[in-house]
Amino acid sequence: MLHALYFTKNSSGSWSVSYVNRYVQSETLKLERTRQKPCFLPAIEGDSAAIIAAYIFNFLRFGKVNKDISNTNVFEHAGRVFAVAENHLPQEICIQNLDTRNTWDIGGEWDRAFTAHPKVAPGSGELVTFGTDAKRPFLVIGVVSADGTKLKHRVDPKLDRCTLCHDIGVTLKYNIIMDVPLTINFSRLIKGGQLIKFEKESYARIGVMPRYGDADSVIWFNVEPFCMFHLINCFEEGDEVVVQGLRSPDSLIPGPRLALNKHDSKISEPAEDDRSMKQGTRNEFLFRLYQWRLNLRTKTVSGGYLTGTEDSLEFPMINNLYTGLRHSYAYAQVVDSLSSYGNSEKVNPKYGGFAKLILDKRKNTEIPGSSFIRMQYHWLGKDQFCSGAAFVPRVGGSHEDDGWIISFIHNEKNNTSQVHIIDAQRFEDAPVAKITIPRRVPYGFHGSFINR
């Protein structure tokens, strides 16, 4: 389901706010509604034989192994708005009322899944996307025209495995490919293993490909194995390409359960003083800001963490006007570990606040050689958690951080949902606005702000 808050200014200069929600009308949702019951068997987690059986039954009954979902992100391209998840094609959405229009396959030129995080290339306005598949070709990269009418370039970079790649980077000239060891493997499943597995002893690499390059043009940089779902930004600096993302040495996927003693180093109990609610978990499951520098001339790579172990960060945001360009600020949701793990073995991340990452400034530290950046925090308070946050730049703003963070907030104590608007330049202050919504907005993934 999509949830939208509309801000409308009338001719007299007064503002009104309205709220709408709608289900994305995918073909499989319409099928299940016609039958008035769920039809697809779960085919991701569980016993290998059960997953195989679910694949077979789903395919024989419906011609596909999984239901179509569009629950991960909302993006805009060429004036059109799309809801997307990477197991299917994007669904075009009418922004006025959230009605589903149609499936977008770029005029019939795109015949596979579509990433939830396509990127608009700086300068050209082209949309860089990719789609993964459990069979060869495992990953295909596409470049869509700025007007969204045609696929200008399509290439198979010839990966040797199906990596659960969730994001792609762009710079002025390059596409950035993340080949991580979180893999999907049907052969492994048939042998009784996991469909999705983090192969910690395997390899990881980052590829730098010219915008219209082929497989032979990709420069691959081998790096230490890691798990990453979200890049923050990529940009060129002299002979180097700088890649920033939220990196973890291990993965909570496929899970689904972890013993609590793996997380026995939680940092603190939630405090009544919401500014002291920093939370953390054991280092191998922390997502921290990491930066690689890929030297295209010497073919060498260097890198390191830019944030410490006090916080686990996810769902990063920047001012999208700086996508693919050097930037100074980023923002992320901060995990409240005690609420996320609670008294259950099941990991259910909840985000108790936001962090502002000041990338050009280093904080004072007693750790020799440390180069951790300065951070500011905006804590939501006890029993309040956020999701679907987005950065909104001020129209005509003169500074990169001149804008707001806007996010859905749920208060679990009184079961109310709000939207908070936070001044990014006065980040630690109280929100400039809190808007109560008449319906509960469930925790979700990504949010977007679309200006009309």
117-162 pLDDT tens trace: 999 999 999 999 999 999 999 999 999 999 999 999 999 999 999 9
pLDDT tens-place string over residues 296-354: 999 999 999 999 998 999 999 999 999 999 999 999 999 998 887 665 556 678 999 99
- The predicted-structure confidence for 4-47, as pLDDT tens digits, reads as follows 999 999 999 899 999 999 999 999 999 999 999 999 998 888 88
Q: Is the predicted pLDDT of residue 424 greater than 50, yes or no?
A: yes
Tell whether residue 88 is among the known ligand binding residues. Answer: no
117 in a labelled binding site: yes
- Tokens 């389901």 belong to 1
pLDDT in tens, 210-238: 999 999 999 999 999 999 999 999 999 99
Residue 314 in contact with residue 332, Cβ under 8 Å? yes
DSSP codes, 97-153 = T--EEEE--TTTT--S---S--EEPTTT-PEEEEEE-SSSS-EEEEEE-TTSS-EEE
Residue 435 confidence (pLDDT)? 97
327 is in an annotated binding site: no
Spans of all domains in the chain: 111-248, 306-451
What's the whole-model pTM score? 0.91
Cα torsion through 341, 342, 348, 352, rounded to 10: -90
pLDDT at residue 369 above 80?
no
With tokens 């950035």, the residue in question is 176
For 242-346, where are the alpha helices, taking DSSP H only? Answer: 337-341
Q: What angle do CA 17, 93, 126 make, to 5 degrees?
A: 110
Q: What is the pLDDT of residues 228-280, one digit of tens each?
A: 999 999 999 999 999 999 999 888 776 544 433 333 333 333 344 444 444 44
Distance of CA 133 to the CA centre of its chain: 19
> How far is Cα 249 from Cα 336, in angstroms, rounded to an integer?
19
Measured CA to CA, the distance from residue 160 to residue 53 in angstroms comes to 26
Q: Which pLDDT does position 272 carry in this prediction?
A: 42
Q: Residue 304 has what pLDDT?
A: 95
Question: In the predicted model, is pLDDT for residue 181 greater than 70?
Answer: yes
Q: Would the annotation count 410 as a binding residue?
A: no
Report the pLDDT value the prediction gives residue 344, as an integer from 0 to 100: 54
For residue 112, which phi and psi values (nearest 5 degrees)? -145, 180
Is the model more confident about 68 or about 261?
A: 68
**What is the end-to-end Cα distance of the chain in Å, rounded?**
22
In 10 A of CB 369, how many CB atoms? 6
